[in-house]
C-alpha cells in the first residue's frame, strides 16, 4: 500500500513540534516536569461571594469598575510616605482597630494584588461551586470539632490542666504544632492544595 508523502506531513509536524515542546520543559533528575519556583497566589478576589452578588459568578461592567476604583484607592495607601509628616495623634486616631490603629498593619504590608480574571470577566468569588459561591454549612461533626478546639482557649495559670482530659491537649507536643509553624508547609493556605491567598506572604 502506498502512502502519499503529503499525508505524512501533519503527523511528522506533530511529532517534531511535540518533541520541541517537551525539550523546552525544565525537568527534574527523575525526568518529571520541574515545577519549583516562586509563585504569587495573591488576589483581591474574595474567597466567598458577597451575598449582594447572589448567584452571579461574574461582576457586571459597572461593578467591575467600582471594584477596580476601590482597589486602586487602597493601593494609593502603599505609596511612599513623607518622612517629615507629623506624628499620629496620641492614643490613635479613634478609628476601629487595635489601639486606634496605631500599631496594626498598614496598607504597605498587606498586598492587594490584581483581581483574578477569566478572559475579560472578573469573578465574584474564588469559590464557584456551589452556585452561591459560598462555603457549605458546617456539618455537625465539624461544629463539634471546632467547639472542642476552642475549649483549649483559656487563661494560662501555669498548670498542665489538659493532662486530666481525654484526647490531645493544646499543643502539648511538637506534632500538635501547626504545620506552617514547623516549616513543613507554607504560611496560612499558600502552600495548598489548593494554593490560596492569605493576608500577606503570598
In the chain, the number of structural domains is: 2
Res 1 pLDDT > 60: no
Cβ atoms 49, 134 nearer than 8 A: yes
Task: Quickly tell me which residue has 516536569 as its cell.
Answer: 33
- What predicted TM-score, i.e. pTM, was given to this entire model? 0.60
Q: What is the pLDDT of residue 2?
A: 46
**Structural domain includes residue 73:** yes
Q: What is the pLDDT of residue 3?
A: 46
Note whether 99 and 168 are same-domain residues: no
Res 97 pLDDT > 70: no
Q: What is the pLDDT of residue 58?
A: 94
Residue in 139, 79, 65 with CA at minimum distance from that of residue 108: 79
Q: Which domain does 201 fall in, by range?
A: 137-202
Query: Would you place residue 8 in the very low, low, confident or very high pLDDT band (cuts 50, 70, 90)?
Result: very low
Q: What is the pLDDT of residue 179?
A: 81
Residue in 44, 94, 102 with CA at minimum distance from that of residue 73: 44
- CA torsion 110→111→114→117, rounded to 10°? -80
Query: Would you place residue 90 in the very low, low, confident or very high pLDDT band (cuts 50, 70, 90)?
Result: confident
Note whether 143 and 126 are same-domain residues: no
**Structural domain includes residue 29:** no
Which of residues 117, 135, 153 is at a domain's end? 135
Q: What average pLDDT does the chain have?
A: 77
Note whether 130 and 141 are same-domain residues: no
Residue in 104, 99, 115 with CA at minimum distance from that of residue 42: 115
Note whether 57 and 109 are same-domain residues: yes
Note whether 125 and 164 are same-domain residues: no
Query: In this predicted model, what pLDDT tens digit does every residue of 34-71 receive, in sequence order?
Result: 988 888 888 888 899 999 999 999 999 898 888 888 77
**Structural domain includes residue 168:** yes
**Structural domain includes residue 70:** yes
Query: In this predicted model, what pLDDT tens digit does every residue of 132-177 receive, in sequence order?
Result: 999 999 999 999 888 877 877 777 788 888 888 777 677 667 877 7
- CA torsion 64→69→75→76, rounded to 10°? 170
Note whether 129 and 141 are same-domain residues: no
Note whether 102 and 128 are same-domain residues: yes
Least confident window among 13-17, 46-50, 95-99: 13-17
Note whether 105 and 157 are same-domain residues: no
Amino acid at each position: 500500500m502506498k502512502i502519499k508523502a503529503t499525508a505524512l506531513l501533519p503527523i511528522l509536524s506533530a511529532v517534531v513540534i511535540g518533541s520541541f515542546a517537551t525539550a523546552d520543559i525544565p525537568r527534574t533528575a527523575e525526568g518529571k516536569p520541574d515545577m519549583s519556583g516562586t509563585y504569587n497566589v495573591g488576589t483581591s478576589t474574595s474567597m466567598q461571594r458577597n451575598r449582594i452578588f447572589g448567584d452571579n459568578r461574574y461582576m457586571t461592567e459597572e461593578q467591575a469598575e467600582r471594584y477596580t476604583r476601590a482597589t486602586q484607592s487602597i493601593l494609593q495607601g502603599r505609596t511612599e510616605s513623607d518622612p517629615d509628616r507629623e506624628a499620629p495623634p496620641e492614643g490613635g486616631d479613634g478609628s476601629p482597630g487595635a489601639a486606634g490603629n496605631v500599631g496594626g498593619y498598614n496598607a504597605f504590608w498587606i498586598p492587594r494584588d490584581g483581581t483574578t480574571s477569566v478572559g475579560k470577566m472578573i469573578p465574584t468569588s474564588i469559590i464557584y461551586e456551589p452556585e452561591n459561591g459560598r462555603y457549605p454549612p458546617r456539618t455537625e461533626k465539624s461544629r463539634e470539632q471546632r467547639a472542642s478546639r476552642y475549649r483549649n482557649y483559656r487563661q494560662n495559670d501555669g498548670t498542665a490542666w489538659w493532662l486530666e482530659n481525654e484526647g490531645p491537649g493544646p499543643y502539648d507536643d511538637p506534632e500538635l504544632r501547626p504545620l506552617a509553624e514547623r516549616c513543613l508547609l507554607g504560611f496560612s493556605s499558600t502552600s495548598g492544595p489548593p494554593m490560596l491567598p492569605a493576608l500577606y506572604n503570598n
